[in-house]
Amino acid sequence: MASFHIPSLTTRLPFPSARSCVYHAFASSSKRTIATWSPPRPIRFESRQYRQPQEGIIHIRLSVRYISSGIRKPHDLPPDQKASYDRLRPIVDTFEAPIDWAVAYGSGVMKQAQTKPGDPPSLTDLLLSTSSPVEFHSINLRQNPSHYPLHARLIGAKGVAHIQETWGAGVWYVTDVKINNTSVKYGVISTAALIEDLTQWKTFYISGRLHKPTLPLVSPSSPRTESASPSSSSTSMSSSVLGEALETNRKSALATALLLCPERFEEDYLWEKIAGLSYSGDPRMSIPGGENPEKVRNIVRGSGAREGFREMYGSYLPQRGVMWAGPDATEKSGWHWQDGWKGDGEALLYQPTSAAYQVELFKSLPSRLRQSVLAHYLNDASRELDQDSEKAVISSRIQDPQFRSTISEELRKIIHKPALRQSIKGLFTAGFTKSFWYALAKIRKWLNGRGKK
């Protein structure tokens, strides 16, 4: 049991640090409250006093937040990413709304090549997943009303959540807001929709962004907000499923990229294939102001990016039979972890070319892409095949010179429509004024990229 006086703004309890929780306490005219709770670790209480709703009762909102000694930081981050984590993790903790998982991504965190000291700073991009979009927006509208344009505030949390879930790629983006003196763009997606996109590539909008190195802020194994109710077990289960879905997404990206690679290729060529998957059908890549045309190359050659790709995919390469190519064009040297990585992205890698190997890669593709490729060859999108029939069709087509381009084309089709709708939805979610300035900044980047080609 822990006792504290309401006038005290901060009270330390003798437990190690606990996950974020929110409690409501009631104070009588005696100004004293007794709280009973048994967390496993030391916590800090922050209290806020609200308007007295009725005589004799004061509502106090108590937020149990992380303290620095208890935050579970990712291991072995480079110094610049450690600094980014220490700067960005507190931003996530400012949200009172429930968050299951969060990452920072993009050029605001992972510096790209050809970035000059005098270039304007990029927005810091965050992705947040929540088990309940309605609850998230309900709380966030109260806490951060300025993050929403007027029309979004008028339709309320249910309306915002409905538009988020049914339009575009299932994400609600808040653009160019200041949190802790940092300019932030954050996207909110339901955890269920995130898992579906990671495992099936339903829209490929968020899953594609997670093929590249990101900075984890809240891992799926330790959600920032944990309920004290019986539903906490279901939260833990979704976290486990989300962790598996993130790994499935990485394996799918590697299998797709290897199908698009020749027998021998440079290491950086593989990372460019993986990084470029999500941009292949994105309409922003083909219109002025959409994206820098050199974006994929700049991502891979950015500071620390190669090490990030190696960490993400290195353990899967031996499982896929990928080896270092020997000095002779016909020689393969084998993959030995004790040898470490070779060179700075220019070393040659080798993959098998047998039909059986490529069929196995194809079987590892997400269901949406696999079915689209099969429908292309069968000329029947509604026809479903069992595993043996699917294997027979792909085995007969795998050596087709157009097979790789077919995979690329079907992937573009998956991406294009959700990405286009999401871009249109951005006008609504950000408001027209912010959208104008955001588009103007993109046009400048696009022109800079065109000038460097």
Q: Among residues 20, 52, 68, which one ends one of the domains?
A: 68
In a domain, 29, yes or no: yes
Q: Among residues 41, 68, 95, which one ends one of the domains?
A: 68
Q: In what order do the strands lie in the sheet with 182-190?
A: 171-179, 182-190, 124-130, 101-105, 215-218
- What's the total number of domains in the chain? 2
What is the Cα–Cα distance from 153 to 160, expressed in whole angstroms?
8
Tell me: the pLDDT tens digits for 68-109? 333 446 666 777 788 899 999 999 999 999 999 999 998 878
Give Cβ neighbours of residue 133 (< 8 Å, ≥ 6 apart): 160, 161, 164, 165, 172, 188, 190
What is the Cα–Cα distance from 352 to 319, expressed in whole angstroms?
12
Q: What is the CA radius of gyration of the chain?
A: 25
In a domain, 394, yes or no: no
Which residue segment(s) compose the domain that 64 sits in? 2-68
Rounded mean pLDDT of 107-121? 68
Contact 32, 5 (CB under 8 A): yes
Tell me: the pLDDT tens digits for 163-203? 999 988 999 999 889 999 999 999 999 999 999 999 999 99
**Residue 106: alpha-carbon gap to chain centroid:** 10
Q: What angle do CA 116, 119, 124 make, to 5 degrees?
A: 105
Cβ-in-10-Å burial (0-12, 13-18, 19+) of 366 comes to: buried
Tell me: the pLDDT tens digits for 41-52? 334 444 444 444
Tell me: the pLDDT tens digits for 352-364? 989 899 999 999 9
DSSP class of residue 285? Answer: G
pTM: 0.77
Q: How confident is the model at residue 256 (pLDDT cuts 50, 70, 90)?
A: very high
- 221 and 115, same structural domain? yes
| Amino acid of residue 48 | R
Top mean pLDDT of 118-127, 271-280, 411-420 is at: 271-280
Output 390 or 358, whichever has higher pLDDT: 358
- 128 and 52, same structural domain? no
Instruction: Judge whether residue 116 has pLDDT over 70.
Output: no
- 256 and 176, same structural domain? yes
Instruction: Judge whether residue 19 has pLDDT over 50.
Output: no
- 45 and 114, same structural domain? no
Cα distances (Å, whole numbers) of residue 67 to 60, 232, 402: 21, 22, 56
In a domain, 352, yes or no: no
Q: Among residues 15, 39, 68, which one ends one of the domains?
A: 68
The predicted pLDDT at position 288 comes to 52
Contact 211, 249 (CB under 8 A): yes
Tell me the CB-side half-sphere exposure of residue 432, using CA atoms within 13 A: 1
Q: How confident is the model at residue 302 (pLDDT cuts 50, 70, 90)?
A: confident
- 16 and 117, same structural domain? no
What is the Cα–Cα distance from 334 to 321, expressed in whole angstroms?
9
